[in-house]
Structure 1
Amino acid sequence: MGRKVGIVLMAVTALAIITAASPKPAHANPKYGSIVVDAYTGEVLSEDMADKQLYPASLTKIMTLFMVFEALERKEIKLDDQLKVSKRAAGMPPSKLGLPVGSTIKMEDAILALVTKSANDVAVVIGEAIAGSEIQFARKMTDRARQLGMSRTTFRNASGLPNRYQRSTARDMATLARVMISRFPDYYTYFSTRSFAYKGRSYRNHNKLLGHYDGVDGIKTGYINASGFNLVASAQRDGRRIIGVVFGGRTSARRNNHMVKLLDRGFETANSRSLVLAGTPPIPTRRPGANATEVAVAENRVLQVAMTDKPTFLKADTQAVAALPVTIAANQPQPDVMPEDMLNVPAIPSAKPDIAAPAPKLVIAGLGPVSPSVEDFDIEDEHGQGDRELGAIDLEDLPADSLDGDSASIASLLGGWSIQVGAFRSEDRTSVAISNAVSAAPELLSWAEPRVKPLVTGRGTLYRARLAGLDETTARDACRKLERSGIGCLAIQNTASQ
């Protein structure tokens, strides 16, 4: 009996030691998500929490630039166009170029400023130039993202500055990067720019993998405190191109080292595939105008051989293992250049069905739970390259926009103005007042952030009904319109005490 008990105790002890020694899973970090895909076929090489909605931060600017490149393609704008800087754009927080109100910046310089400096003021300049206002531009960004298959992405601004409703996923960002690279191979080369000189100053690209990891030629970093350190990177070796996405790094160096590990494993996985689809035709450099042929392969792998001019944005059926017969041949090198017209590259397939994004919830400022602190994911520097080589924290990677999810801080940052449409003893009445205000001026307030601000008085608590995240012009215009509708309104410039 004693011997049996001893054996059991030894087994339990061994199990405890093994458990303690096991590394934390990546998803112990609530801000983490990652995916690695084959850029040519869309095959998922690895993924972890790839469908979790997270804050994209300045990865948003990839979509901003995609919209720019489409406008250039349609000849709605030109690279030498001069874009005017508005008061709103000039008032954006860092990272920024510091453009003065009324000045202009050339479109090509604006592109380079987003790629390297990740300039928030320039992102607003671009949005206003293309859509008339940043709000309208963000709506267009969201609509376009959905057309591209980014079903779990919503944009509320052009820069990636904090907004609790601006979310994306690792899978959606991989889809965007894949379309960007395939549709705009010439414009994509902007993302390999190491530094950008403007008005006597030089701005370095925050993507430190450029020049430090073999084959990496883009694309974009992102950081706010709510997101952690994000990165989308693409690398090409021996005729293969893969795309990696990481959300939620604790530091830029750890994020970079983790990306190196993911890319290394991605290339190993891709190169270990002994079979590929045969008969892939030579890749044209111009649109062939041919009909699209979709071939569905086991494990949700999808390849489009030739594309149409009209986007179809097909998604893989997660149950279809062989929708069409395919011919298998020996491994062949992938082409170095993808079709210029892969506008309708399928969204990266998911093992899970799409889940509708949750509707925005009313935020009671100051009463919300504190976000959990970020946990490290298991990262080792496998290549002997320390923080100095692979991107020790750059102060330019830590802009003044590094806020947590606190709604008061976010609203103060996003435009700096709110409107108040009443103060009530009941939270329910406060919510109704906010809803009525939005209904009365939807063109001005539909994308404002609803907030309830408690105010403790000697006679009890009042709940102030506010809509935040506005610029001064929008706030005052909204109040004028609401007052004409019989709704009392006060435009308020946000301060830390509010």
Structure 2
Amino acid sequence: MNRRLVMALAGLALLAAPFRAACAEALETPAREAVLIDLSTDTVLFEKNADAPMVPSSMTKLMTIYLLFDKLAKGAIKMEDELPVSERAWRMGGSKMFVHVGDRVKVSDLLRGIIVQSGNDACIVVAEGLSSTEEAFAAQMTARGKDMGLKSSTFRNASGWPDPQHRMTARDLALLGERLILDFPQYYPLFAERSFKYNNIEQANRDPLLGVVPGADGLKTGHTDEGGYGLVGSAIRDGRRLLLVVNGLTSMRERAQESARILEWGFREFQTYTMAKKGETLAEARVWQGDEDTVPLTVAQDARVTLRRVARATMVVKVVYDGPVPAPIKAGDQIARLEITAPDMPAISLPLVAGRDVERQGFVGRIFTSLRYLVAGDAS
């Protein structure tokens, strides 16, 4: 009795599943690893070696910041709390906040020392203050990362200091950046601060996108000899946020130019379309042995999709379900799917749900429906 029923719909596009790829004309980049995601629909606009283990350098600090933000949000620590500076933290090389051994530094200053000044010393102060040792804190970073879905991330320190076992992927960094933006909107504006002064030493934010790319507001740069120059960056325009990860570039200048170019490409080539509202009926599905012949099909939430601008005119949208759908049916039951296809993009398949309850027919009604189907082939 069940048949695969297809209904073509004109001019519709709906919400892409998380981290769905939206193919476009080939984008070339000298970055060794890269991924660009539209966070409004969690659509991957571009990727290159996004799942390859890589040296994250100071982009590691985003995980340190995440754990500190989490402590703040839960009330386990406060901005005005002070953490002690050990000799190990004071002696730490690389980029520095310039804390002094024996000092006690406010958490609010340490955050800016990490976010704005990329201070390796500040990372150790935080790690030792929250977990006694940096090694214990790194183990906590790894465990929490696994819980968050950072499947390929292993941390050996809080700063991204070179270690052969300290690795992340561009995709993991993108997910971490997204979590920082979504989980801690109250703290995220810290990433857009342009400079910070501590111990009479003022340093500018290393993010080359701030003040250059419209809407740019974070997140973190990184550099080591092995990793090259990298960046986790984000920008928002007209409610649409893009998140970029690049790594393996050869200079600060190339990092700045390539990051800006890829973000501009993403905003220019793609658009997010809202095509159906929650509860809006898109089609009717036939019902088998129900007290109504059809049931409306709708979406459980506002439906959006990110597509190449040129793809929208050529896309084909179909409602597909195995039908007639047997009663009883409850509102919200997933009974169909929407399939969207267009040239040069992967097919999108999205759930459609019943818009209302449909009760099963009584005994006599079911008999007449079955007889009608046997005689005329009408399964409604």
- Could you tell me how far 1:238 is from its partner in structure 2? 1.1
- % identical equivalent positions: 36
Aligned-partner residue type, residue 278 of structure 2: G
- Could you tell me how far 1:224 is from its partner in structure 2? 0.6
Asked whether 1:324 is paired with 2:324, we answer no
Aligned-partner residue type, residue 278 of structure 1: K
Q: What is the RMSD computed on CA atoms of the aligned residues?
A: 2.8
- Could you tell me how far 1:92 is from its partner in structure 2? 0.8
Mapping 1:197-236, distance limit 5 Å:
197-236=197-236
Distance 1:24 1:174 in 2: 19
Aligned-partner residue type, residue 143 of structure 1: A
Residue 180 of structure 1 corresponds to: 180
Residue 111 of structure 1 corresponds to: 111
Aligned-partner residue type, residue 35 of structure 2: I
Distance 1:257 1:46 in 2: 17
Preserved contact between residue 116 and residue 203 of structure 1 (Cα < 8 Å): yes
Distance 1:49 1:102 in 2: 44
Residues 277 and 169 of structure 1: is their aligned pair in 2 closer, same or farther, counting only changes over 3 Å?
A: farther
Q: Equivalent residue of 1:128, what SS? A: helix
TM-score (norm 2): 0.66
Residue 101 of structure 1 corresponds to: 101
| Deviation readout 1:261-286 (Å, 9 max, x if unpaired) | 11111112332x54556339xxxxxx
Distance 2:37 2:276 in 1: 17
Residue 66 of structure 2 corresponds to: 66
Distance 2:302 2:129 in 1: 40
Aligned-partner residue type, residue 46 of structure 1: F
Mapping 1:48-87, distance limit 5 Å:
48-87=48-87
- Could you tell me how far 1:80 is from its partner in structure 2? 0.5
Preserved contact between residue 197 and residue 203 of structure 1 (Cα < 8 Å): yes
Distance 1:210 1:297 in 2: 29
Residues 213 and 324 of structure 1: is their aligned pair in 2 closer, same or farther, counting only changes over 3 Å?
A: same
Residues 66 and 277 of structure 1: is their aligned pair in 2 closer, same or farther, counting only changes over 3 Å?
A: farther
Q: Which runs of 5+ in 1 are unaligned?
A: 1-22, 281-292, 300-318, 328-498
Mapping 1:444-455, distance limit 5 Å:
none
Residues 132 and 297 of structure 1: is their aligned pair in 2 closer, same or farther, counting only changes over 3 Å?
A: same
Which structure would you say has the larger Rg? 2
| Deviation readout 1:313-368 (Å, 9 max, x if unpaired) | xxxxxx995352279xxxxxxxxxxxxxxxxxxxxxxxxxxxxxxxxxxxxxxxxx
Residue 91 of structure 1 corresponds to: 91
Q: Equivalent residue of 1:260, what SS? A: helix
Preserved contact between residue 296 and residue 320 of structure 1 (Cα < 8 Å): no
Distance 1:154 1:279 in 2: 40
Residues 321 and 92 of structure 1: is their aligned pair in 2 closer, same or farther, counting only changes over 3 Å?
A: same
- Could you tell me how far 1:114 is from its partner in structure 2? 0.5
Residues 186 and 138 of structure 1: is their aligned pair in 2 closer, same or farther, counting only changes over 3 Å?
A: same
Distance 1:48 1:40 in 2: 21
Aligned-partner residue type, residue 200 of structure 2: G
Preserved contact between residue 273 and residue 305 of structure 2 (Cα < 8 Å): no
Distance 2:305 2:201 in 1: 52
Aligned-partner residue type, residue 219 of structure 2: I
Preserved contact between residue 278 and residue 301 of structure 2 (Cα < 8 Å): no
Mapping 1:282-431, distance limit 5 Å:
321-322=348-349, 324-325=351-352
Preserved contact between residue 297 and residue 322 of structure 1 (Cα < 8 Å): no
Aligned-partner residue type, residue 94 of structure 2: P
| Deviation readout 1:108-128 (Å, 9 max, x if unpaired) | 000000111111011000011
Residues 61 and 276 of structure 1: is their aligned pair in 2 closer, same or farther, counting only changes over 3 Å?
A: farther
Q: Equivalent residue of 1:161, what SS? A: coil
| Deviation readout 1:375-416 (Å, 9 max, x if unpaired) | xxxxxxxxxxxxxxxxxxxxxxxxxxxxxxxxxxxxxxxxxx
Distance 2:239 2:302 in 1: 21
Q: Equivalent residue of 2:270, what SS? A: helix
Q: Equivalent residue of 2:218, what SS? A: strand
Preserved contact between residue 37 and residue 43 of structure 2 (Cα < 8 Å): yes
Residues 67 and 277 of structure 1: is their aligned pair in 2 closer, same or farther, counting only changes over 3 Å?
A: farther
Residue 134 of structure 1 corresponds to: 134
Asked whether 1:247 is paired with 2:274, we answer no
- Could you tell me how far 1:294 is from its partner in structure 2? 9.0
Preserved contact between residue 85 and residue 102 of structure 1 (Cα < 8 Å): yes
Residues 210 and 25 of structure 1: is their aligned pair in 2 closer, same or farther, counting only changes over 3 Å?
A: closer
Q: Equivalent residue of 2:349, what SS? A: coil
Preserved contact between residue 61 and residue 160 of structure 2 (Cα < 8 Å): yes
Distance 1:51 1:277 in 2: 33
Asked whether 1:38 is paired with 2:38, we answer yes
Residues 117 and 277 of structure 1: is their aligned pair in 2 closer, same or farther, counting only changes over 3 Å?
A: farther
Residue 278 of structure 2 corresponds to: 279
Aligned-partner residue type, residue 322 of structure 1: S
Preserved contact between residue 83 and residue 104 of structure 2 (Cα < 8 Å): yes
- Could you tell me how far 1:98 is from its partner in structure 2? 2.9
Which structure's relative contact order is higher, taking Cα pairs within 8 Å and 6+ residues apart? 2
Distance 1:129 1:320 in 2: 49
Asked whether 1:267 is paired with 2:271, we answer no
Distance 2:72 2:262 in 1: 34
Greater than 6 Å deviation, 4+ residue runs: 293-299
Preserved contact between residue 45 and residue 269 of structure 1 (Cα < 8 Å): no
Distance 2:135 2:111 in 1: 20
| Deviation readout 1:237-293 (Å, 9 max, x if unpaired) | 11111101101110011111111111111112332x54556339xxxxxxxxxxxx7
Preserved contact between residue 154 and residue 165 of structure 1 (Cα < 8 Å): yes
Larger strand percent = 2
Distance 2:149 2:34 in 1: 18
Residue 368 of structure 2 corresponds to: none
Q: Equivalent residue of 2:208, what SS? A: coil
| Deviation readout 1:425-459 (Å, 9 max, x if unpaired) | xxxxxxxxxxxxxxxxxxxxxxxxxxxxxxxxxxx
Residues 294 and 48 of structure 1: is their aligned pair in 2 closer, same or farther, counting only changes over 3 Å?
A: farther
